[in-house]
Amino acid sequence: MSGFLAPTSPEITQREIRNQARVRAIAGDCMVLLKNDGALPLKQKGRIALYGNGARATVKGGTGSGDVYVRETVSVEEGLRREGFVVTTGEWLDRQERAAAEERKAYEQSVIDAAVAAGQTEEYARMMMILNPMTPRALADITQDDVRNSLTDTAVYVLARNSGEGRDRSAEPGDYELSGAEVSNLRFLAAQYEKLIVLLNIGGVIDTKPLREIPGISAVVLTGQMGNITGLTVADLLTGRAIPSGKLTDTWAENYADYPSSGVFSHNDGDVSDEYYTEGIFVGYRYFDTFGVRPAYAFGFGLSYTSFSLDTEAVKTEGTDILLHLRVRNTGSEYAGREVAQVYVSAPSERIPKPWQELRGFAKTRLLQPGEEETLCIRLHAASLASFCPKCSAWVLEAGDYILRVGNSSRNTRVAAVVRLPETVITEKVQPLFRDPDPSLEEIVPPRSERTSPEEDAEIASVPKLTMDPSAFVLKEHSYASLPEVLKKKTDRLIPFDDVAGGKAELDDFIAQLSDEELAYLMVGNSVDNVGFNSVLGAAAKTLPGAAGETTGKLEQKYGLKQMELCDGPAGLRLTPEYIEKPDGTAVGLGGMSFGGDKAAEGIRHYQYLTAIPIAMTLASSWDLNLIASMGDLVGSEMEQFGATLWLAPGMNIHRNPLCGRNFEYYSEDPLLAGKCAAADTLGVQKHPGYGTTVKHFLANNQEDNRMFTNSHISERAIREIYARNFQITVEEAQPMSLMTSYNLVNGIHAANNEDSVTRLLRDEWGFRGMVMTDWLTTSDLSFMLAAGVAQKYGKSDAALCVKAQNDLIEPGEKPDFERILAGLREGVITRAHLERNARNILTLMLRCHLYAHQSYHFPIPGKCITFTCE
């Protein structure tokens, strides 16, 4: 019987149709309305002049591992046509398509020529194109004839940007800034058309000055990148079928230089080997609000077709919790809408410098009709308001007044209550972790200023004053596990893994019988015998074509240990779109990252067309955890159908700087929002028993240029409060089945080799019970990349040290990894106890996965996505 699950018919499936409808239904919740003079929604369908680099070449999502191979991508042009609009600028769109194609062709040829000149193959060149994505800049001029022939008073301009792993963006025209041609075209169109609607088909922040300064632009919408049906969701937006209710997940600066990391980020200072996090905890709005820098658009900002009132009904304490009851009313008369209530807290800062305010809770209403209202309940755990004190290695709630602010963006709030804590409370004691950063790292210091303004003093005088009882807090102290004793073999009888899954044998007895070599094989992925670059990057699995990797198959014949399939994300499941199942039971991948497939091979053709869901940044713009969980559920259902055990998602790194090439894969600049979104995504996927997520990239992974060899110099407080806090929330609320470490170093130690983060923080402090894996090729010899100009000041991660750190699985797993683990065992770098401990983590996950589904290994996690809305 064939083990391949994909359909053998090329016809579109009901699953594809159903899942695309699910994505389309959430479009409005994810789109952010930045400006509208009444032009939107359009009153009727009809003629429309369509321009912009994203009109026909609409970006569904970024490049690299975040890509998804789909049956079709519906462009904005195609989406408008399907929904009954008459697009009247076909000649301009044809010119633009030709210009873009010529630019792409020239780029690809230049990469191939460079590879050949360096003695590399054309396939190597194709891989380099994936690892170093092109930034398209071609743009056709718009003429008076184009306008005259469009025969309409309404123009839509789709401004697109694309990025991907392996390369950071630039603060240059055509990328972060609008190009001269884009500005010129927009000025021209704004003067020619009665209505000019600008749609931002982007996955990151851009400079919006021209969009705010050019007179005549009627509306600006961050449509984001909604997946393979982005064009249909845009059509829904224009007609009013989709009502925008999204909010920004980042601060959009007036100038790029306003970001505190702008001068040193990635290539900006000419040094891609060392990254100094001088801003400390002052990331995003924490910096802008504390240092008094005015943004173009504030964190949490987003307009609506209607208006809302937001009133605080009550604030009370329950033990060490604070409950806010907020009444939201649609005060408009024509349109329905949804609003997001956001709670920020200003904490005392006498001993520990703090941001002026921090997001501590949020909730989104249901769709409210004009005149309709809803009461939201937001619960804050007071212990979560604590700050980390590096000197005392503890989380501390300082004595004083905690000012609660409620609003719909970080710059539009009112004081709702003041909670007083009479005495300082230590909520949690920890070990000091992470090697001290480079002594030259000097973090910025916030100005000493009053926590309130004179205008706010009147608000404070009128709001409820509550007092927290310091004695109600329970101190949390952690124990840090030591290495277990080496297991003793109890029997000479071979124990198959099915006996463990069936409850007939203990897991430790199964592990005890394994040789050192067998344990080492378990630590590495199934590419251990493969040869060549293409066999290990992007599509390294043998049993599920297009999967990024899999666990070892070396122990299947002897012990019956099956393989887990690991598939890329996070904008959907990424598999080879088509493959041929050959008579000998093997498969030949066609398309995607399966290079060199024999299209003429004999056998059964299978089809794996998946659903591209919105990118993480676009999903997070909904501020709707149940919506995000529903997209996780969608992916989980496709994992079940195709047999993918682990989804290498969600990506959840902090948007430290808008130029990070993978920000589209991540949620936000704020760790609370990012952590809650990733937890919701995980709960949605893991609603399907035996299938799980792999939250990534742990830790402080915020740069793509030289991503495998860059060293993040960062303080322990910044790690704990910003760059690890989002992961902590996800682990504690959703217990993901696995986690992926990042390429970079943290204070001189590779993330994959760091015991402080992978063992002490993740497992001992947070209680993570899943498996940890490396990112792809982090332990590999990549000296060939020197020819491409990649700096390698710090060298690669060490496979034996991965095992020591409790980074359980090395992917995709090469022969040198296996050999290095055994060498480390001989040299005393690691012991058999390390191997057995990591094997236990891997095999425990195997027992949870769909291949075995051993019920006693299903860790208890919340049964549904946490919601803030009172029922």
451/590: higher pLDDT: 590
457/651: higher pLDDT: 651
Q: What is the pTM of this model?
A: 0.96
Residue pair 592/539 in contact (Cβ under 8 Å)? The answer is yes
For residue 839, give the 3-state DSSP assignment: helix
Nearest-angstrom CA–CA distance, 346 and 5? 54
CB contact burial 470-480 (16+ within 10 A = b; e otherwise) = eeebeeeeeee
pLDDT of residue 132: 73
Question: Is the predicted pLDDT of residue 784 greater than 70, yes or no?
Answer: no
The DSSP symbol for 178 reads: P
Residue 394 banded pLDDT, cuts 50, 70, 90: very high
Mean pLDDT of 505-531: 92
Residue pair 68/30 in contact (Cβ under 8 Å)? The answer is no
Q: How many CB atoms lie within 10 A of CB 852?
A: 20
Q: CB neighbours of 24 closer than 8 A, spacing ≥ 6?
A: 229, 232, 233, 236
Listed range (120-124, 139-143, 486-490, 578-582) with the worst mean pLDDT: 120-124
Burial of residue 3, with CB atoms counted within 10 A of its CB: 0-12 exposed, 13-18 middle, 19 or more buried: exposed
Question: Is the predicted pLDDT of residue 788 greater than 70, yes or no?
Answer: no
State the sign of the Cα–Cα–Cα–Cα dihedral 841, 843, 849, 852. negative
| Closest-CA residue to 312 (of 372, 355, 381, 363) | 363
Task: Give the DSSP per-residue string, 749-807.
Answer: EEGGG-HIIIIIIIIIIT---SEEEPPTTTTS--GGGGGGT---SS----HHHHHHHT-
pLDDT of residue 864: 39
CB contact burial 551-576 (16+ within 10 A = b; e otherwise) = bbbbbeeebebbbbbbbbbbbbbbbb
Residues classed as catalytic = 775
What mean pLDDT value characterizes the chain?
93
Paired tokens of 485: 């004793």
Listed range (490-499, 530-539, 759-768, 807-816) with the worst mean pLDDT: 530-539
Residue pair 125/95 in contact (Cβ under 8 Å)? The answer is no
| Closest-CA residue to 741 (of 815, 648, 807) | 807
First and final C-alpha spacing in the chain: 49
Q: Could you tell me how far CA 289 lies from the centroid of its own chain?
A: 25
pLDDT of residue 119: 81
| Closest-CA residue to 568 (of 65, 63, 61) | 65
| Closest-CA residue to 812 (of 589, 509, 538) | 538
Question: Is the predicted pLDDT of residue 871 greater than 70, yes or no?
Answer: no
Question: Is the predicted pLDDT of residue 785 greater than 90, yes or no?
Answer: no
Residue 679 banded pLDDT, cuts 50, 70, 90: very high
pLDDT digits (tens, 9 = 90+) for 102-140: 999 998 888 888 888 888 877 777 777 776 778 888 999
pLDDT of residue 865: 35
Nearest-angstrom CA–CA distance, 685 and 142? 46
Paired tokens of 486: 């080496």
Query: What is the CA angle 55-58-59, rounded to 5?
Result: 150
Mean pLDDT of 216-238: 97
Nearest-angstrom CA–CA distance, 528 and 773? 15
Paired tokens of 817: 């990894």
Residue 591 banded pLDDT, cuts 50, 70, 90: confident
Mean pLDDT of 388-397: 97
pLDDT of residue 187: 98
pLDDT of residue 868: 31
pLDDT digits (tens, 9 = 90+) for 250-292: 999 999 999 999 999 999 999 999 999 999 999 999 999 999 9
Question: Is the predicted pLDDT of residue 92 greater than 50, yes or no?
Answer: yes
What percent of the chain is predicted at pLDDT more than 90? 85
Q: CB neighbours of 572 closer than 8 A, spacing ≥ 6?
A: 68, 70, 227, 610, 611, 612, 613, 635, 638
Residue 870 banded pLDDT, cuts 50, 70, 90: very low
The backbone region for 720, taken as left when phi is positive above 0, alpha when psi lies in -120 to 50, beta otherwise, is: alpha
For residue 325, give the 3-state DSSP assignment: strand
Listed range (60-74, 305-319, 359-373) with the worst mean pLDDT: 60-74
Listed range (693-702, 785-794, 819-828) with the worst mean pLDDT: 785-794
Mean pLDDT of 75-96: 98
Residue 852 banded pLDDT, cuts 50, 70, 90: very high
Residue 534 banded pLDDT, cuts 50, 70, 90: very low
Show the DSSP H helices in 271-392 as ranges. 285-290
State the sign of the Cα–Cα–Cα–Cα dihedral 59, 62, 64, 65. negative
Listed range (125-129, 209-213, 675-679, 804-808) with the worst mean pLDDT: 125-129
Nearest-angstrom CA–CA distance, 26 and 30? 7
* Helices 832-848 and 815-827, axial angle in degrees (round to 10): 140
What are the backbone dihedrals phi and psi of residue 200, each rounded to the nearest 5 degrees, phi first?
A: -100, 100
Question: Is the predicted pLDDT of residue 525 greater than 50, yes or no?
Answer: yes
